[in-house]
Structure 1
């Protein structure tokens, strides 16, 4: 009975941690016009607010395995949540300098917490890695949904203050920290990330690992670019911020469905699911670029289905590309490092192209060739996983 309670407590800690790793990013795009107007930011500078955490998610991902080996996976997760709570609370309190500086700290916290998730799940749920991975992936996406859909109504409730609306996302992060610390604290000895002693495998020298990493990066870019600019695409067309934020929430909501379903459909061979999901995302990006008002809710919903499926499929192949479970932190560290650095280019590039062309048609169409490249990497990554499962 005690073992079941401990497992349930760890599951609650994992899910609460996961659900808090995205609202701090997703809460900015729905109110980006208010932030820009208040601080006098260009579209490119505003895009950096979404891009910076993604850059940090790449830069600091490899450090997570080192920290977990030193202090334990659970304690390191608690430290990441503590940093996330404090940085989220203070980032909108003063001027532009604190906003960007605290956003960097937010990115560090998300990087460490996100990179620890696969290792923490494998460490605490060795017999349920697949189901728990699906649950925490859904929690990540749900956090983005809550952040994107709830920030504008929260701002209205708080009298139009975008600063208060952003700062209040520290409260659920603090709750996740409290639960995580209660679970971690009774542990006698921290459990770290297993590293194969003497193993000479390196993902940096492995072609298969590079295919998986580039797939991870491409599909992440196709997610973060519309996350940053989907609402702005429609406010520029005359929509209210609340209505555009609702469209962004729909984009996030459909991701929950596909993130849960896609891994089950791709249990033996992920390649068909990868192809369908990417073609769906690419097609919707074209439609949002050239015909945004013909069926905006449908385009946003289908785009969400495509990127949500790709996210869960990418995490699936990342977890299987390493030759042994002990090598998984190395593979995920490389995939997050390179992948999220590539993904961080998306919001800034779309903002830059918008400033250059005066609209969003060209920026959205520019994402199409990136999607086609990602399709090639995704098929290659799926081939790796399929080949190894047959063995």
Structure 2
């Protein structure tokens, strides 16, 4: 039993930290009517409060690799959580749109550093055999964070703070500072000292960085793109009244997939076949949603969310299971940079195409086209492990 407790504690800490990859971002949609009314913000600015941190995930990933090289993975994660807590809490004292967007960008930068720091810590805190489980655990925390923040803010947190959106942001933000202190507790399997030599910049010439980043981008593009444009797509089909139910199941399936991966990660992570199957299923399902109608289209898009979440966990878990611990940060940063640039640009292009043509369904040309392009990338993916079991 004594050997189990430290491992359980580390997994719990990873799960709680994973929550803060999404909670500070997705607490905004339920609060946006209150923020907009008080600060007189238009819909574009309110939308930017959610999309700006996503853009920062791409911009801040490489600086995150530098932070890992200089501070170590643990130090970089602690610094990032401080940025997230302070940036998110400062939104509660903002008095203008510019100040609100500024501190939201600061918060997004913190989350961007967290993204490569978490996988870089896995081989230091867990044995080699437990790395895939650790990835699945913090990804489960991240996906649960989407539901917790969106589901509890209005019915639970707002009544507790007497309807103050500012206080609600503080309630969600400040507990991150407690995690900063908790992160000092786990022992490393191997030293996590800052790296003083060059080596923090991702190797952009390495084909595997591009393959993994572009495949990761497919998962994120389909999820963020369909989430962003679901209202337009359902309105074009005359079933806008089903939006709440479709979005609920579309997002909830990500949570279910993350629970499946808690069990399956050990068997699937590091293997090409599960990745290839997920990519191919994503393509079939987005085409099924596009060409289908009624209940069949809903089944396809909900199943697509489930499959894309599995692909997300598989891709995020690849790097810490494949490369030495001191290389995880910069390789993860390269993959996240590519993946999040793609997931920001592709839905944007789809929206522009739809606005130009006047047909909301044209969004799916971009989303399905990009998904199809990733099939040969997954087919040609060559995975090998150069990581060594931690002592």
TM-score exceeds 0.5: yes
SS of the residue 1:319 aligns to: helix
Deviates more, 1:142-151 or 1:14-23: 142-151
Contact 1:60–1:108 (8 Å) recurs in 2: yes
Aligned pairs, how many?
Answer: 381
Structure 1: stretches of 5+ with no match in the other structure? none
Structural RMSD (CA): 4.1
Quote the Cα distance in structure 2 between the aligned partners of 1:155 and 1:231.
Answer: 27
State the distance in 2 between where 1:201 and 1:71 align.
15
The structure-2 alpha-carbon separation of the partners of 1:200 and 1:262, relative to structure 1 and needing over 3 Å to count, comes to same
Partner of 1:54: 54
TM-score by length of 1: 0.79
Q: Distance in 1 between matches of 2:64 and 2:357?
A: 40
Corresponding residue of 1:228: 228
Cα distance between partner residues in 2 of 1:275 and 1:157: 46
Cα distance in 2 between the residues matched to 1:374 and 1:130: 23
Higher mean alpha-carbon deviation, 25-34 vs 173-182, is at 25-34
Mapping for residues 1-391 of structure 1, pairs under 5 Å: 7-28=7-28, 39-42=41-44, 48-91=48-91, 93-127=94-128, 128-150=130-152, 164=165, 168=168, 170-184=170-184, 192=192, 203-230=203-230, 233-234=233-234, 237-239=239-241, 242-243=244-245, 245-260=247-262, 263-267=265-269, 269-271=271-273, 273-291=274-292, 293-295=294-296, 297-320=298-321, 322=323, 324-358=324-358, 360-381=360-381, 383-385=382-384
Q: Indicate if the aligned counterparts of 2:78 and 2:183 stay in contact, CA closer than 8 A.
A: no
Displacement, 1:69? 3.9
| Cα pair 1:234 1:244 within 8 Å, conserved | no
What is the deviation of 1:134? 1.7
Post-superposition Cα deviations, 1:147-189, rounded to whole Å, max 9, x if no partner, equal: 344456569869997x82x86355344324303314417989x
2: CA distance, partners of 1:103 / 1:316:
28
Q: Distance in 2 between the 1:182 and 1:196 partners?
A: 26
How far is 1:193 from its partner? 5.9
| Contact in 2 for aligned 1:214/1:374 (Cα 8 Å) | yes
Q: TM-score w.r.t. structure 2 length?
A: 0.79
Deviations for 1:188-236, whole angstroms, at most 9, x for unmatched residues?
9x96367596889962222233222222223322222223333564478
In structure 2, C-alpha distance between the alignment counterparts of 1:212 and 1:219, rounded to whole Å = 11
Alignment partner of 1:282: what SS?
Answer: helix
Q: Cα 1:367–1:183, aligned 2, differ >3 Å: closer, same or farther?
A: closer
1:19 Cα deviation (Å)?
1.4
2:338, 2:349 → 1: CA distance? 17
| Alpha-carbon contact 2:124-2:325 (below 8 Å) kept | no
Asked whether the equivalents of residues 58 and 340 of structure 1 are also in contact (C-alpha less than 8 Å), the reply is yes
- CA–CA separation in structure 2 for the residues paired with 1:231 and 1:375: 28
Relative to structure 1, the CA distance from residue 387 to residue 330 in structure 2 (aligned partners, 3 Å threshold; closer, same or farther) is closer
Structure 2 gaps of 5+ residues are none
**Any idea what the Cα deviations from partners look like across 1:280-330, whole Å, max 9, x if unmatched?**
3233333444546434652343022111111011123333554x4432222
Tell me how far 1:251 sits from its aligned partner: 3.9
Q: Secondary structure at the match of 1:168?
A: helix
Summarize the Cα distance change of 1:6–1:317 in structure 2 as closer, same or farther, 3 Å threshold: closer
